[in-house]
Structure 1
């Protein structure tokens, strides 16, 4: 079953210096395409996948698009963050925001974890303090470019 111009028209298509970029929504899943030329009525499309570091990811995405076009279940995304990973990322960025605004680790911990978890004594050795410091460090790493690791999941070596 070919990808129809109507399918392309249902998404957003934008021209760029390197070609055309299209975002399609098929079966509730967003698919990103790059086209060398403007979409044309009656044209047939093929996937060109370079053998580079992203080949496995591109191949998986291409297969999901093919399944969607053919009315089959697309399956899960190549890489999905768990709820715990998403929560940690959010906490890390919130902790970094507080730190950047000049808040102490204690204040950051009170905001993130609640004041009841923060002891009056023994703060210097408390696990919540250590966790708060690790979150600030993780937030710094994300801002310094570590967020790119989220886009390239760990390899699935067998």
Structure 2
């Protein structure tokens, strides 16, 4: 029998059929629904081959920018500095900053990033509702 400890504390257990694990051990804790949903997705990916589609490139890019925005804000960067890093100085200077759509976009990215850090990442683990 083999044991593989996963980073999040769950454990894959058992022998294998081919290269497929036949068991998973999940702790019964407050994260049980999330762990169970992730295990279900793992089952569908490995055994059923019918997992939810991965993140679209657009959603993945938005998530990366949102998390980079939060990192920048925590490091003391202004919305203008973050916008310049994402869109370039010329584009940021092209419209009045106070009413800029780019400023609003960076503010939305900051809010989205904060939400993902606080609890939204669990939605990524859960995938689509079945």
Q: TM-score, normalised by structure 1?
A: 0.58
- 1:78-132 per-position Cα deviation (integer Å, ceiling 9, x unaligned): 2410000100000001111111111111011001111121026511111111000
- Structure 2 contact 12–21 (Cα < 8 Å) conserved: no
Counterpart in the other structure of 1:34: 24
In structure 1, what is the Cα distance between the partners aligned to 2:108 and 2:10? Answer: 43
Task: State whether structure 2 residue 81 is matched by structure 1 residue 91.
Answer: no
- Structure 1 contact 61–78 (Cα < 8 Å) conserved: no
Structure with max Cα Rg: 1
Counterpart in the other structure of 2:43: 62
Counterpart in the other structure of 2:84: 110
In structure 2, what is the Cα distance between the partners aligned to 1:104 and 1:117? Answer: 16
Q: TM-score, normalised by structure 2?
A: 0.68
| 1:32 to 1:88, Cα distance in 2 relative to 1, 3 A | farther
| 1:31 to 1:100, Cα distance in 2 relative to 1, 3 A | farther
Task: State whether structure 2 residue 69 is matched by structure 1 residue 78.
Answer: no
In structure 1, what is the Cα distance between the partners aligned to 2:101 and 2:56? Answer: 23
Partner secondary structure for residue 81 of structure 1: coil
For structure 1, list consecutive stretches of 5 or more residues without a partner in the other structure: 37-51, 68-73
1:13 to 4, 22, 36: 4
Counterpart in the other structure of 1:123: 97
CA RMSD of aligned residues (A): 3.7
